[in-house]
Amino acid sequence: MTSLEHFAAALQAGGLVMPHPGLSLPQAYQVAALRHRLRLAAGERPIGRKIGHTNPANWPAQGLSAPTWGWLYASSTEAPGERLRISAWREPKVELECVLRLSRTPASSDELPDCVDAMAMGLEIVDRPYPSWAIGVPDSVAAGGVHAGLRVGPWLPLDSAVLPALQAELQVGAARSEGGSAGVFGNPLSALARLMDVLAEQGAPPLQAGEWVTTGALAPALPLRAGEPLWAQAAGLGTLSLRVV
């Protein structure tokens, strides 16, 4: 096995992993693809993609020129419920996102408004497989965007007029963050279009009908701690309220 294959297998095993020394972004996507194949072989079912690093203002410091992406799986995705159990994770954080659902396979980004049939509020949980959160973008990409779970609120019919004006608020205990569409290229549909470009450039599997896509953090991530209430709101997407346990 190569060092990248060993790294992918270690990430898949689920234990604490040291970051791969000198990992480049192309190598990180190789690791993510290797791990995706391991997950498919284990019987996991992909249901869509997640888009990361959707704020271009941060790209110079991150060494990026485009957003990043990873796979979503049925095994880590569910409805919000009344409680969010975090005991299986090391140091989880939560992000408030807009989730889009594809009803048709888009041939080009110009078709996206006609290919997306629903939107929903999403709470994406991220967790580190590494000793700390002091990691680079390639480390995150290799670990599937450090995706740990997704809680998706009720699906609503797509309203293209709402998406450019999303205003989001997220609160966990006393900690609070806010943001909106400006953090996702000004519109979740624009984030989806950028994802299509990245997939095409990489020769990665294109988006397909039926996929769910988390389009980037509307509000910055907050740490999750047991015993605290979690509240999230985005105009046009609704409100979610649950307790962290």
**Verdict on whether the full-model pTM lies above 0.75:** yes
The pair of structure tokens assigned to 141 is: 């990409």
**Rounded Cα–Cα distance for residues 180 and 175 (Å):** 17
Per residue in 189-206, pLDDT (tens digit) is 999 999 999 999 999 999
DSSP state of 153: -
The pair of structure tokens assigned to 111 is: 């078709």
In order of 116, 130, 163, 189, 245, the CA distances from 160 in angstroms are 10, 39, 6, 8, 36
Q: Residue 15, by phi and psi: left (phi above 0), alpha (psi -120 to 50) or beta? A: beta
226: pLDDT strictly greater than 90: yes
143: pLDDT strictly greater than 90: yes
The pair of structure tokens assigned to 244 is: 């962290």
Q: Band of the pLDDT at 146, cuts 50, 70, 90?
A: very high
Q: Which residue bears the tokens 């190789």?
A: 30
- pLDDT at residue number 215: 97
1: pLDDT strictly greater than 90: no
- pLDDT at residue number 221: 96
- pLDDT at residue number 81: 87
Q: How much helix, strand and coil, in percent to the nearest 5, is found in the chain? A: 30, 35, 35
- pLDDT at residue number 120: 97
220 class by beta-carbon count within 10 Å (0-12 exposed, 13-18 middle, 19+ buried): middle
**Rounded Cα–Cα distance for residues 218 and 110 (Å):** 23
Q: What angle do CA 143, 144, 146 make, to 5 degrees?
A: 65
- pLDDT at residue number 109: 87
Ordered structural domains, the chain, with CATH: 3-244 (3.90.850.10)
Q: What are phi and psi of 187, to 5 degrees?
A: -175, 130
Per residue in 74-132, pLDDT (tens digit) is 999 999 889 999 999 999 999 999 999 999 999 988 899 999 999 999 999 999 999 99
Q: What is the mean pLDDT of residues 129-143?
A: 97
Q: Quick check: helix, strand or coil at residue 98?
A: strand
